[in-house]
Structures are given as C-alpha cells and as structure tokens.
Structure 1
Amino acid sequence: MNPELDRLRRRPDLEAPGLVAVDAADRLILDESASVREALGAGEVCVIGDAYGALTLGAALAGAREIRVHQDALTGERALAANARDLSLADTYRSLPLAAELVSGTRVVLMRLPRSLDQLDDIAAVLAAHAAPEVTVFAGGRLKHMSLAMNEVLSRRFAHVDVTHARQKSRVLVARGPHDGADPSPRCDTHDGVTVCAYGGAFAATSIDIGTRLLLEHLPAPPSAAAAIDMACGTGVVAAVWATRHPGSRVIASDQSAIAVASARATAVANGVDDRVEVVRDDLLGARPDGSADLIALNPPFHSGAAVTDRIAPRMFADAARVLRPGGELWTVWNSSLGYRSALERTVGPTRQVARNAKFTLTASTRR
C-alpha cells in the first residue's frame, strides 16, 4: 500500500485522536481491486462513499485518471480536494452527483458500504442502470458495520456477489453482472398533515424523530419579512412546516449531506412550499453572512461518519451564533443527557428551556 495515504487528513471535518482519514477497509478495497484496475483506461474507475479521499487518491497513485467520485458529505468532498492538492493529484478526479453521469460506462467501482440498506439499494440501482455490463463493484467496510442483508441488497441488482476473506476486521463484497437498474426516487410518508420524503440514507428516513417532534410542537413563528434557517435540515421537515404554517415566510434549509438536500427538496415539493423553501448544501452555515438571520432551528447530529462524538454540536452552535443578529434566537433540541445548555449559554447567549420530554430538551438561546 502506498505510504502517501498516511498523509491524508480529515479537515475540514473533525480531527481528533482516534478519528482517522484512512482505515483498514479503504486499504483492503484498494488491494482487492488492484489487479482489475491495472487493465483499465482513463475514465473507467468510479468511487462512491469515499470518506476523505483514500480510495480516490489510492487509485490515482496507482495510475488511474479521470476518476469520477461521489461523496455524500460536503466535508468529505473538501477533505478530498485538500488531500489531492497536498499530493499534487487535484487533476485526477472530478466530483459528481449520484446519477448516470457518475457511473456511465465505468468498469470498476470502489465503494465504502453505507450503513443504510436503502442507501445501498439506491447506489446499486444507479450502478446497475448505467455502469458498463462488465462492471465489477468492490464494496467494503468494517465488519462491525456490515450485515448479511447487504449481500441480499446487492443481489437484487447484481447476478453474482462474492465475499472476500476478512482482514483487520474489514471485508469486501465483490458484485458483477448488473441487472434491473433504476434511477432512485424518494420514498414519502405523511404524518399529521406533513409529507416527509427521503432518499436512502437520510436521517430518520420518512419518519419524524422524537426530537424533531418536540421542536415542531413548539416551533416559533419566523419574524416577519425575515428568513428562518433550518440548520442540519435532514429531510427538511422543519422548513416545510415553517413554510406551511406561515405562508408569508421564506425559509432556508441547509445541510452538508447530498442525500439530505435532495430529500429536503422533495419534501418541499410534496408539501407545495418549494417556492418559499431554499435548500442549500453547506458545511455548517458557511455560505451565510455574519448577522444575517433572526431565527435558526437546530437538531444537531452527534456522529461524524461512524464515530460518535460530542464535538460537532459546539461547532454548530458557534456558527449559528455568527449568523444570528443580536437578539436573534437559536432553537435547539438535544438529548438531555448531553447537557448542552452551558455550551449554548457560553457560545450564543442567555438560554431558556422551552420544553422537555422523557429524552429530549428544547431550548431557545438569544444572541447577545
């Protein structure tokens, strides 16, 4: 394995002891696919789900060019770009959405297995529909995140699914013979008059999680003529409800996940509010100017990839505080055991409890 991969970093995502940019599963995928990739020309390798660039840059270091890449997380795209610049490989790949252009004619796919079976089916469907008939898919992951159901999902779209030997608690599924391909469409369900649409892998799928339900029960009205922001919007439920309840408001729904952005747009369309809900893909609220918002709603995640961490929410609080005008409010719902109130007080300003149930707390923090 090329030692250059040891130089990879996670930034702009969290960097901390125990959080790595390349792992044993990345290395195993590259090793298992190496002999097949040797015979390929430019534009015949596709990479899906590359966390921070290990698969893309590992293939590039071995000679692959015109690599097509899809990463759900915007932080992953930016980490790949930074790592590619560090290794002088920025011209070896291009980032694309999960659609026909990504996989059309590709002969080898290097993929990290997603934890969501629906997401895996969406990816497999696109590959089966548009990749070359002779495509070979090398889909790997850590054993603790893999299940036999993943083999079954791939078998719906591929005639042959083989399993490699495990190495360093990692394994690769090798799929060949694509069939029954399709372009994914969102799944939709209606709850209390609100239609929720989700592509595979969206948080909570087409349901409304307990924390978001608590937020919706107490959701404040946006100030007149001012945009409210649904930060880390997921499927865009909060944005859709805001726009539905308050027809004169305009809402921004923001998330770094491509799946979340596509889901939120579908949710807005399904509820007839897509003309008043602007959905954007952004890392935190990086594209929003300082002091430009009066109201932000947030249900912060507590994981970075597969790693559980309490370091994400404080970064989100800080960026929300930057974007809020003095006197603006951040409404945050959080698992009560996490004890975020002191962090909200320090970072945003005076914080009051709005509501609480058996598991979650909803607070409103006023920007100093």
Structure 2
Amino acid sequence: MKPILSIQNEELILQRYPARENDTLQAWDSADEYLINTLAERNLDPTRPILIFNDSFGALSNWLSTRGCIYNISDSFIAQQACRENLKENAKASINYLNCRDSLPKNPQAVIIKIPKNNRLLKWQLDQIAQVVSADCDVIAGAKTKEIHTSTLRLFEQKLGETHTSLAVKKSRLIFCRPNSHRPSNPSTEQATIWSVPEYNFTLFNHVNVFAGEKLDIGARFFLEHLPQDPAAEHIIDLGCGNGVIGLQCARLNPDARVTCVDESDMAVASARENADRNLTNPDQLNAMMNNCLTGMQPETADWVVCNPPFHQQNTITDHIAWQMFCDAKHVLKMKGKLRIIGNRHLGYHVKLKRLFGNVTTIASNNKFVILEAEKRPTRTTS
C-alpha cells in the first residue's frame, strides 16, 4: 500500500525517491504538515510566485501545486525527482524547478523554506531571497524544534527582517519573517570557497553546499593515498564525487582513462567541473554529471568505481543509499572491474560487498576508516 498524507481534506500519495518496496522511511515530516496547515489559512494569489526551498520529497510542492505559480528550488536531484514522481502519482499540475544557483523570480507572494542541514546553504538561500522579496511577502520556514536555534533566528533577522517563531507542534516549529523594506539593496552574500591542498598541488573550489568547504576532510585525505593506478583502465567513475577531488587524483594517476564524476547535488557537480578546469592539464578528461547514483548508465562500461558512500539522506540516517551505490557499481563495471570504497569502520560495508560481489579485500585501514575493494566476477552456476 502506498503511503498517504491526509491533510486539509486532501490525500496525497508521497514516496521517497527512488521508491522502494516496504520502505519504512516517510516522505514527509511534521514540519511539512505544520507548514501546510499554516498555509491553508492564507489567501494565496494564483498569479504571484510561491518559492519553495529544500522540499525534501515534494510534500509542500504537491499540496501547493494548484494554489499558485510554484517554484521548487533545491540543490538535490533526488529531491526534485521525488517531487516530479509524486506530482505524477497525484495527477497534479506541473511546477517550475530551479537549482540553488539559478536566478529567482521577482516579487514572490510567499517563500517557504525547509531549513537545510547545512548552515552555509541557508545563508546562501537567504541572500538570494533578499534580492527578490518585497515587504508584503510572507517568509515561513519550518524544521524540527531541535534544528532551530537562536542563531537561526538571528540569521533571518540579519538577512531579511523582523522574525518570530511559533509554538512547537509534534516537535516541529515554524519561523515567520517579514522582509524589511529598508534592508540593504546589496547585502553581503555567502560565497563559494577556494583553498589549496599543497601536497597534491590542488586548488579546490567549493560551492556552499559541498561537504568539506574549507579543507580536505580526513576521509578524503586517507582515500587519496590509496586510489587505483591502472594503465589498462579506460573509464573510472567517482560516485558521490562532492567537489571532485578523488576524481581529480584518479585522472592524474590514470592519464589515459576517462573519469566521470557523479553526484546528486548540483553544487557538487558544478564544483567538480570547476576543479577539473583549474587542476587538470586536460580538463576534458573529466566529465561531471548529476544523477541518482548510476541510474541509466550503460552496463559493463567502467573499469573502476571509487566511492565514499553517504550514510544519511536529508536528515535521516540510512544505509540504503550505500547499497544502491554498490548495486549500481556492479551493474556498470566490466567483468573483472573493481569497486573501491572508503567508509567508517563501524558501518560494516565489508558484509554488504561480500554479499553482493562474493568477495572483498581490505586495501588499507586506520583507527577510523577502512578502504575496501570488490571485483566483479562471473556468477558461478551449478550443474
């Protein structure tokens, strides 16, 4: 049975993306419900834009789709694909999609924000919002109560104007903000960062929503020491690439191979592309693309897949993304192609790899991380 959100005399079928059988994770939360119930009390003008930021799986966009000119703004390919699928499932009107680097429509009547986990992304979004809102615009943000801090309220005050919060309902709270008509016309904006990794001669560019925005994280630093160098390799995939630093080093170690960097974040993909242009002698050696893992990629076309799997989706801890990455990697690898991953020691990825590939080798480990490798081998048949 498909999960249904019953709210305001409407039933919405809402699933995470990609849809999985017997998924125990819900595609909406109490902050979505609180926002919808609050918006239901307002008279919305169907001719003026409504901007929705960080709509995790489309709950807000689905409910609002018939109530105005809707813009879904997100850095997440998966979140927007979920929204598209849920709109189709509910036979709702199509809406407009923007990434976080796109220009926003002017003079919106309302701006709805699910507060993101990354505070730098929130600052970036508030800076962009400040450029287009007028004093009659309702800005309403929602999140779990534990995710709204005094510093969050100060940020809304600083970037937009007078701010107050609601009472908590089902452990969620709303922020209400009224843009100040006298705010600076050109406020300071959150910027992408540029920093160096001298031991690898890299200069790295990071958009605001890309992990490790100011220095190389310890996992990436360890992984860089143990990447494949294979003269026979023709195609290497950096899956979940972030700023592309792992793909860059793979390109340098394997100058005759094509390298494909894949991530579901638009800002990550844009950062990886920028970093290839900055750091590679032949930038065309590296291609960066946005995708849900390796969906739609041709089978048996890669010699290597390297990966640092995430263990959360939005704010939910889960291992299904890692499992999908491993399954997709096996699909696109050539026979005898190899998947090499890094993960925290406690995550137990060796069990998953052994189950899927039938083999797993420990390449390196320290007190925090383990680097594992699995080879795609012919499936054994019994007579």
TM-score normalised by the chain length of structure 2:
0.88
Deviation at 1:349, TM superposition (A): 4.3
Provide the rounded CA distance (Å) in 2 between the counterparts of 1:328 and 1:17: 31
Tell me the residue number matched to 1:335.
Answer: 344
Aligned counterpart, 2:381 = none
C-alpha spacing 1:222/1:90, structure 2 compared with 1 (3 Å): farther
Looking at structure 2, the residues matched to 94 and 74 of structure 1 have their Cα atoms a distance apart, in angstroms, of 14
In terms of mean alpha carbon deviation, does 169-178 or 113-122 score higher?
169-178
For 1:348 and 1:120, how far apart are their aligned partners in 2? 40
Pick from 79, 82, 85: which aligns with 1:79? 82
CA distance in 2, matches of 1:141, 1:165: 12
The corresponding residue for 2:380 is: none
Alignment gaps of 5+ in structure 1: none
Shift in alpha-carbon separation, 1:146–1:195, aligned structure 2, 3 A? farther
Contact 2:231–2:256 under 8 Å retained in 1: no
Instruction: State the secondary structure of the residue aligned to 1:155.
Output: helix
Aligned to 1:265: 273
Offset of 1:224 from its aligned partner? 4.4
Say if 2:376 is the partner of 1:367.
yes
Distance 2:257 2:317 in 1: 35
Query: 2:361 — aligned with what?
Result: 352
Letter in 2 for 1:149: S
Identity %: 28
Larger radius of gyration: 2
Q: CA deviation at 1:130?
A: 2.9
Post-superposition shift, 1:280? 0.3
Counterpart of 1:59 (choices 58, 64, 70) is 64
Residue range with higher mean Cα deviation, 257-266 or 182-191: 182-191
Which of 7, 11, 17 is equivalent to 1:11?
A: 17
**168-177 vs 270-279, which moves further:** 270-279
Is 1:175 aligned to residue 177 of structure 2? yes
Tell me the amino acid that sits aligned with residue 20 of structure 1.
Q
Match of 2:126 in 1: 124
Residue in structure 1 matched with residue 216 of structure 2 by the alignment: 208
Deviation at 1:129, TM superposition (A): 1.8
Q: Is the 8 A contact 2:338 2:375 kept in 1?
A: yes
CA contact (8 A) 1:231 1:253 kept: yes
- Give, in angstroms, the shift of residue 225 of structure 1: 6.2
Give the secondary-structure state (helix, strand or coil) at the position aligned to 1:104.
Answer: coil
Higher relative contact order (CA 8 A, sep 6+): 1
CA shift in 2, pair 1:184/1:266, >3 Å: farther
SS of structure 1 residue aligned to 2:354: helix
SS of 1:275's equivalent? helix
Alignment of 1:187 onto 2:187: no
> What amino acid is aligned across from residue 339 of structure 1 in structure 2?
G
Q: Give the number of equivalent residue pairs.
A: 364
Alignment of 1:97-136 (within 5 A): 97-132=99-134, 134-136=136-138
1:68 alignment counterpart: 71
Residue in 1 that maps onto 2:150:
148
The gaps in structure 2 that reach 5 residues or longer are: 1-6, 378-383
Cα distance change, pair 200–16 in 1 and its aligned pair in 2 (3 A): farther
Deviations 1:112-147 (A, max 9, x none): 001111010111111112344533211110112222
Q: Cα RMSD over matched residues? A: 2.2
Other structure's SS at 1:212 match: helix
Report Cα offsets for 1:195-237 as digits up to 9, x if no partner.
Answer: 3322223222233222222210011125446121100111211
| Residues 145 and 326 of structure 1: CA distance in aligned 2, closer, same or farther (over 3 Å) | same
Contact 2:58 2:82 in 1 (8 A): yes
1:44-85, CA deviations, whole angstroms, 9 ceiling, x for partnerless residues?
A: 11111001111111223xx42331112222222121112111
Q: CA–CA distance in 2 between the matches of 1:123 and 1:95? A: 15
Cα 1:182–1:29 change in 2 (3 A) is farther
Q: Secondary structure at the match of 1:268?
A: helix
Contact 1:100 1:126 (8 Å CA) reproduced: no
| Corresponding residue for residue 46 of structure 1 | 51
Q: Is the 8 A contact 2:231 2:254 kept in 1?
A: no
| 2:257 paired with 1:249 | yes
The answer to whether the Cα contact below 8 Å between 1:21 and 1:54 also exists between their aligned partners in 2 is yes
Tell me, in whole angstroms, the C-alpha distance in 1 between the residues paired with 2:258 and 2:286: 6
Secondary structure (helix, strand or coil) at the match of 2:10 reads: helix
Alignment-mate amino acid for residue 261 of structure 1: V
1:22 matched residue in structure 2: 28
Of the structure 1 ranges 232-241 and 342-351, higher mean CA displacement relative to structure 2 is found in 342-351
Are the aligned partners of 2:233 and 2:303 in contact in 1 as well (CA < 8 Å)?
Answer: no
